[in-house]
Structure 1
């Protein structure tokens, strides 16, 4: 049965399965905009991280069941709380006892599950968490004897309610199926076997680290670091990639590296001393694809066709936000990153900056990413913008009906007043054609003027933001063309309001189809920013989901396995579950479990840094 049929059994399931969010639907656009604005207010005036300073804080450790274990398996998944099919397919794959993907050993289920942010879409609330995250994960793993630990970071969608629901779900020690929660704040430190540490940072919508968080990491992390310790840092977004366009984006993470990991304050001398520890792996989600940047050693050559050879000494930066949300593009990712950029405003930064190069294997590949993105503007594709977002097509149609009325009244005023239909009948089709022609010439002239302005100012050299003016002019051109329907020789017996309704309908249809198509082409034209991301979010592609599984071996070597499910499950059965004799419920079970495969060869990372 599909999601719609499963919803009929919501009482038995204890949650209501949800469809994927349609991000360009008018309601979602409006709601997300309002929540984002409110979140910004919370960030400035009601930062719950400051309040968390009064909560109990502790150092976590994993695995819970066997604290003295010499090895551990860790799972990382991010951007999970969207449509039921995708989220549950990933949850069931995570919950499997082990996965056979052709690696040198079977990949066992993680004793630690890290949720990397955006656990609920489109905005956080108790109900949204229950239906989009807790329900699917509880169904995938109702119980587990090994008591795997679950820790979570808040992403921007978790912050849209000021972090209220997030703290209730993840910071009160409650179980989510077989997974155990233990954190008490929106950030955490987990001590792992073989002198590895896993850190979760709450950067609060991209801003600074608050004082309680700083003190927490100084006490529970920095003070315990020893020379040769390895650190895994999980953050809410890949600011290392953002630094390519925003030079100060990586500053906060670089500050954390310099002042918490590599050095600590000596309380007796008041000076900073070296810890000898190192961040070996950065992990994040937010962007719904897989990409990896590997450290480039000084003097090491690198080219687009000459990827860096594997070397366990390299630090790695990994983005994997494929836990359930729509697939994102990869073809605009930079190939090389100096971190932090030399032009950043940091007073204390590495000189020369560390250099990272993009790995050869990403998902989706650049070619596939471009091909998928273009589907938003292909009318024959099932992912065409108005077909995938009917609410957007309706909004575009209503907008063009309004533009038609506005332009028609302007034409009537130029013709001496009266209703638009009467003005056309009185003046004839020739005058209407003249009005539409002049309007189109003005639109084209403005577009050419803007193109010349961009050329002369050389802004075309930079990752250009799509111009709202260009999009508006294109829509006006469609509305002007739709006005030609009033020149149709309607029978004189037709009342004016009847003719007007037919013309409004024609304008609405043109806006829904042609207007949406022009909007899709405008989105594809964008070279960066939020508008460029609409090419993928508008399609809400559910396939191509995945996560990262890691293994820390007894010799201290960390091996990273990036996994992808090319196809998710869309057909489910119901199964009875017994928690205890007095409580029964049912859970959705995949009719056939999706197959996982490796995106690239396992990535080996040594804990101890040695100079090449």
Structure 2
């Protein structure tokens, strides 16, 4: 059964399966704007992290079933609480006892041999498949619900799908959760109630008591989750938690995985101070600690080997350049376990994001950072060649928002936006019509339409064409200046001129359409004709020109609409990791190219009640995005 049929069984499912959020629908734009404003107030005046200092908090250990285990499997998923089909597909893959994963068909020549782990597979690197066991630790990296946090939204978009994917387990995996900006939009109220009270979510067991955590892993590895709270600083209770629960326990040779809510290392290209908080944490909590006996800071001998995040809904990995790498080397860096890695994997369920604009090299911390104490010179991290989606596919996918034949075309994917555009142009055409009436000496727009002659019609058509062409002329003119390049028109002025061009065109079409109307007809009919033409052209042509403007914008919030406006619910994934008995960490970036859209119901019985859960009729195929990445443990002094 499809999503519509599943909703009919909401009472038996104990949650209501949801459609993906239509981010450019007027309702969502307005509601999200209000919540963002309220969140800013919370961030400045009602920071719940300060209150969390009163809650007991300690060190977590994993796996729960065997804290003394010599190895562990870990899953990382982020940005998951959106439409049911995508979220449920990822949750089902996470919950499978064993996951069969298709490997790449061949290893790229520039990469050298794949450094595959001892995973029990009989296949050689670069071919065949792997069979990976379910993880005993699940890390959710932020934005567990969209568009804004609430108890009902968590139940329908996150808890319900995950409880259905894994109703129970004889050895419950530990679930630790970071809040993202969407979790923060209610000030963390619902987040703390759901994830910080030791409750189970299906077969997963929560254990944290705050919005941040530290987990002791086998083989002297540590997992740290940071709550940077809407780009803010580290609050004092959080700092004291890590300085008391983590830093004193770090020994020379210990290795740390740090999870944060957003990839500030990527943002540092445009905002030189974006990485400051994470760099401060690395220097002052992981690598050094304060010795009260001497009054000085001393080295711990530990280091961060892997940075993990979501927020950007794609997969991208940055690898550290080593001193012996040739100057100017980029994503073709050969595999080397000594490299530190920075990974973004926000494929848990929300709309897919583009990758073709990612910077190729990131010097961290940037030279322009205003930190008083920082590492120098900056350490360069290079973007790996394989992203998901890859660069070519990313460029192709963004164009879907402006393709009328695509199912992801802006007004088709966001019907509410087409309605908004229609209403806007009904108002706009009346304003333009009043101006036209003044220019022709008529009393009102209706009279102007009725009495317009061929010269007036020609003037309207020329004005519409000029409004459309003007942004191109201005953009290309700037491109002819020294140091500039030709580029499509963008900017807010372009969007306004495009919509004015549509309104003037609607007036011209009405002039032509009104010619056969007998003079005896009431002027109301002409007015209705004018509004109808404006609504149709606004919904179709206005939306199309808006989509083109979005497509031609290459930075900022508007550029993000290229993909969020399409709400692409295929191309999902997560990261599975393995800490082996020898202390090496192996990353398996996994992709679900297509999500499940056909489900059947299965009964679940427990001691108290019986209920049903949706199960994929055919589990989505899972494949490796790139060959497994091996990270060595911090070398001992």
Q: How far apart, CA to CA, are the structure 2 residues paired with 1:520 and 1:456?
A: 28
1:174 Cα deviation after fit: 0.5
Which residue does the alignment assign to 1:472? 496
1:456 Cα deviation after fit: 5.0
1:609 Cα deviation after fit: 3.5
1:248 paired with 2:279, answer no
Q: How far apart, CA to CA, are the structure 2 residues paired with 1:354 and 1:386?
A: 45
User: Which residue of the other structure, out of 348, 363, 370, is the alignment partner of 2:373?
Assistant: 348
SS in 1 for 2:456: helix
1:480 Cα deviation after fit: 1.1
CA contact (8 A) 2:330 2:383 kept: no
User: Which residue of the other structure, out of 553, 574, 579, is the alignment partner of 2:606?
Assistant: 579
Which residue does the alignment assign to 1:414? 439
CA displacement, residues 170-212 of structure 1 (integer Å, 9 cap, x when unaligned): 0011000010011000000000011000000000011111111
CA contact (8 A) 1:436 1:483 kept: no
Alpha carbon RMSD of aligned pairs, Å? Answer: 2.0
1:595 paired with 2:621, answer yes
> Where does structure 1 lack aligned partners over 5 or more consecutive residues?
none
CA contact (8 A) 1:464 1:528 kept: no
CA contact (8 A) 1:574 1:587 kept: yes
CA displacement, residues 257-300 of structure 1 (integer Å, 9 cap, x when unaligned): 11111111111222111111000000000111101000001252
1:18 paired with 2:18, answer yes
Which residue does the alignment assign to 1:483? 507
Which residue does the alignment assign to 1:372? 397
CA displacement, residues 360-385 of structure 1 (integer Å, 9 cap, x when unaligned): 11111100111111111111111111
Once structures 1 and 2 are overlaid, which stretch shifts more, 362-371 or 379-388? 379-388
Q: How far apart, CA to CA, are the structure 2 residues paired with 1:565 and 1:318?
A: 18
1:431 Cα deviation after fit: 2.8
Which residue does the alignment assign to 1:540? 567
1:234 paired with 2:259, answer yes
Q: How far apart, CA to CA, are the structure 2 residues paired with 1:509 and 1:551?
A: 56
1:98 paired with 2:98, answer yes
1:102 Cα deviation after fit: 5.1
Distance 1:504 1:571, change over 3 A: same
Which residue does the alignment assign to 1:68? 68
CA displacement, residues 194-252 of structure 1 (integer Å, 9 cap, x when unaligned): 10000000000111111111111111111111011000000000011111111111111
CA displacement, residues 283-326 of structure 1 (integer Å, 9 cap, x when unaligned): 00011110100000125226677600000000000000000001
Q: How far apart, CA to CA, are the structure 2 residues paired with 1:300 and 1:365?
A: 24
Which residue does the alignment assign to 1:77? 77
SS in 2 for 1:473: helix
SS in 1 for 2:85: helix
Q: How far apart, CA to CA, are the structure 2 residues paired with 1:102 and 1:345?
A: 45
Which residue does the alignment assign to 2:527? 500
Q: How far apart, CA to CA, are the structure 2 residues paired with 1:465 and 1:445?
A: 9
Displaced runs of 4 or more, over 6 A? none
Which residue does the alignment assign to 2:541? 514
1:232-381 matches, within 5 Å, as 232-301=257-326, 307-381=332-406
SS in 2 for 1:194: helix
User: Which residue of the other structure, out of 97, 120, 138, is the alignment partner of 1:113?
Assistant: 138
Distance 1:460 1:123, change over 3 A: farther
1:519 Cα deviation after fit: 1.0
CA displacement, residues 106-138 of structure 1 (integer Å, 9 cap, x when unaligned): 311111100000000000000000000000000
User: Which residue of the other structure, out of 589, 593, 596, is the alignment partner of 1:562?
Assistant: 589
Once structures 1 and 2 are overlaid, which stretch shifts more, 532-541 or 111-120? 532-541
Q: How far apart, CA to CA, are the structure 2 residues paired with 1:606 and 1:437?
A: 67
CA displacement, residues 43-94 of structure 1 (integer Å, 9 cap, x when unaligned): 0000000110111111001011111111111000000000001101110110
Which residue does the alignment assign to 1:125? 150
Which residue does the alignment assign to 1:41? 41
> Where does structure 2 lack aligned partners over 5 or more consecutive residues?
104-118, 121-130
SS in 2 for 1:23: coil
CA contact (8 A) 1:79 1:323 kept: yes
SS in 2 for 1:327: coil
1:459 Cα deviation after fit: 7.2
SS in 1 for 2:243: helix
Q: How far apart, CA to CA, are the structure 2 residues paired with 1:112 and 1:305?
A: 33
Q: How far apart, CA to CA, are the structure 1 residues paired with 2:331 and 2:55?
A: 50
Q: How far apart, CA to CA, are the structure 2 residues paired with 1:419 and 1:102?
A: 68
Q: How far apart, CA to CA, are the structure 1 residues paired with 2:190 and 2:313?
A: 23
CA displacement, residues 12-59 of structure 1 (integer Å, 9 cap, x when unaligned): 111111011111101001101110111011000000001101111110
Distance 1:124 1:302, change over 3 A: farther
Q: How far apart, CA to CA, are the structure 2 residues paired with 1:532 and 1:494?
A: 48
Which residue does the alignment assign to 1:170? 195
1:457 Cα deviation after fit: 8.9
So what's the TM-score if we normalise by structure 1?
0.96
Once structures 1 and 2 are overlaid, which stretch shifts more, 81-90 or 306-315? 306-315
Q: How far apart, CA to CA, are the structure 2 residues paired with 1:91 and 1:29?
A: 28
